[in-house]
Amino acid sequence: MSVEMERFEPSRTVERNLGMELVRVTEAAALSAGRWMGRGNKEMVDQAAVDAMRHAVDGVDMHGVVVIGEGEKDEAPMLYVGEEIGNGNKPEVDVAVDPVDGTRLLALGSPGALAVIATAGRGSMYSAPPGVYYMNKIAVGPAFKNVIDINAPVAVNLDRIARVRNAHIDDITVAVLDRPRHQELIQEIRTAGARIRLITDGDVAAAIQAAMEDYRGLDVLMGTGGAPEAVLAAAALKCLGGEIQTKIWPRTEEERERFKADGIDLERVFRIDDLVSSNDVSFAATGITTGEMLDGVQYYGWGARTSSIMMRSHSGTVRYIQARHKWRKGVVQE
């Protein structure tokens, strides 16, 4: 994949890049959680990643407040919603974290688990009301951002995407989480004639892949997934110039009635600027298990190798970072 590079002018002041510091945070989470790959213990997977991420984020030069995290303060000891993180210096930012996007993937040793973090200007990230866990989503890249409509029929969205691509609907590939709730959606996509890639977990990665102009494996993400993941995906797509539209999705009729009683508008469409309004967004992710976007952690006697992606909305820069971590200096590498 190609990497868009910033145009460097000698006279221009080089700006501090918070994203580079965030990569160290996701690397730490990936290196720690990766030890639990395939061992079947989701709790230890999550704990290892949270512990490492929380320790690493203390050194980041920012005054961050967790908006998307591990839960409320009384349920999670670290990276809880509302927790202040970083070393307290500027910038003042909202922080969204997913220490392991794809906890089950990692516990089973399956591909595609990531450690993810994003920041944006203070007060700019959407925080779902209490009890809201899921959103219906459609996510695309820059070419299709002005043609999708989450309220339109599936076939209409696919036809619009195909027309922009100067392609046929059967050239289009749709990512959908493999869940029973998506049976009707899957049938609509099949009826329209598009191709489907069913994913077991990790719709943040799928949204990113759908938005990458130099990646033609996916064209669009559709379906219902986690509300926190929608905000993380929006942060990444803000950097890539893509679009995501979402609507709050109640799991049951009882939940629907409760949301209505709480004044939650289930017909409201949240677009990318509703989820992340800032234009100064940084996003970082490190592969834990090898997937299509990033390689997983590789361990050696002397250390480990990691593969990460870092993005900034301010410049549109996307960096792929291959890192070598040595436990001890002077050890001969394989």
Binding residue numbers = 46, 70, 98, 101-103, 134, 179-181, 201-203, 226, 229
Residues 331, 128: Cα–Cα separation, whole Å: 48
Q: Which has the closest alpha carbon to 238: 149, 151, 124, 320?
A: 124
Residues 65, 84: Cα–Cα separation, whole Å: 5
Is residue 68 within 8 A of residue 154, CB to CB? The reply is no
End-to-end Cα, the chain, rounded Å: 26
Query: And the tokens for 172?
Result: 């289009």
Q: Which has the closest alpha carbon to 111: 287, 243, 315, 241?
A: 287
* Ordered DSSP codes for 252-316: SHHHHHHHHHTT--TTPPB-HHHHB--S--EEEEEESS--SSS---EE-SSEEEEEEEEEETTT-
Binding-site annotation, residues for Mn(2+):
46, 70, 98, 101, 229
Residue 150, judged by CB atoms within 10 A of its CB (0-12, 13-18, 19+), counts as: middle
Element at 103 (helix H, strand E): helix 103-108
One-letter amino acid at 10 equals: P
Is residue 157 within 8 A of residue 271, CB to CB? The reply is no
Binding-site annotation, residues for substrate:
101-103, 134, 179-181, 201-203, 226
User: What is the strand order of the sheet 243-248 is part of?
Assistant: 195-199, 173-177, 220-226, 134-140, 243-248
User: What is the total residue count of the chain?
Assistant: 334
